Copies of this chain bind each other. A is one copy, B any other.
Amino acid sequence: MPADPLSKVFSALADPTRRDMVARLTRADATVNELAEPYDVSVQAVSKHLKVLEGAGLVTRSREAQRRPVHLEAEVFDLMTKWIERYRRQAEERYQRLDALLATMPDGDPEPPDTGEKP
């Protein structure tokens, strides 16, 4: 189960219910019951979702009597953003290079796939 941090975060956000919880937590902290209310599933199921989000570092929880308020940790988002941006940038740069390359050869085939000579 050692699953790297990035995998855990992506995996955690791959579920629509979990994404919705995160969305709601950007507005305010909430208890498990509050979080569970809009969804048509048991409180236990939501508790499990919370564990996944917690394991991914997207969420922390404090104690306050018998309540366990859930708090969003937005920093983890940066992990993903960095990964995505990095490869998006590389993909774009490559696209630029390809463009430049095409510009240097106005019409010829760089590697003639077929030398013509077809009757």
Contact = CB atoms under 8 A, between A and B. Distances in A.
A94 to B, nearest CB: 6
A81 interface: yes
How many copies of this chain does the complex contain? 2
A26 interface: yes
Nearest to A28: B94
Interface string A65-99: 00000001010010011011101101110110000
A27 interface: yes
Contacts of A28: 94
Interface of A: 4, 6-7, 10-11, 13-16, 19, 22-23, 26-28, 72, 74, 77, 80-81, 83-85, 87-88, 90-92, 94-95
